[in-house]
Amino acid sequence: MNDITNRKDIELMVDTFYGSVREDDLLGPIFNRVIRNNWPKHLDTMYRFWQTVLLHEFAYKGSPFVPHRKLPVEAHHFERWIYHFNSSMDENFAGKIAEEAKLRAQKMAEMFMYKLNTNSNKKRNT
């Protein structure tokens, strides 16, 4: 198995991951309800995001958290998300960049959970 080295690898990574997410009983309904018929646009955004993060080719601009801040998700959703991400990575890639992708995804999930909890607590206290 090879490591992630180019945009084609990023596309395989993202397509495999979101293919499993879309079929998941817990995550699929959330993603499909929010994204609806805009999957090509969403996937392209994810290609550009991971291309920027992993290959240092600056193709993505924006804040990855903003589109997620109002989603009805909790810790168990992120645990399932990480499971699918890591499984998709392990099925297709091995190497330093693949491991970096898993680490970045884990850190992103932790940061999103923290921000969602912080925002939720602010709403309850106002």
| Position 48 pLDDT exceeds 80 | yes
Question: pTM of the entire structure?
Answer: 0.82
Quote the crossing angle between the two packed helices 7-23 and 39-55, to the nearest 10°. Answer: 130
Q: What is the mean pLDDT of residues 10-17?
A: 98
Which structural domains are found in the chain, ordered by start?
Answer: 7-124 (1.10.490.10)
Residue pair 2/95 in contact by the 8 Å Cβ criterion: yes
pLDDT score, position 61: 78
Q: How far is CA 90 from CA 4, 28, 37, 63, 81, in A?
A: 12, 21, 28, 27, 14
pLDDT score, position 63: 62
DSSP string for 99-118: HHHHHHHHHHHHHHHHHHHH
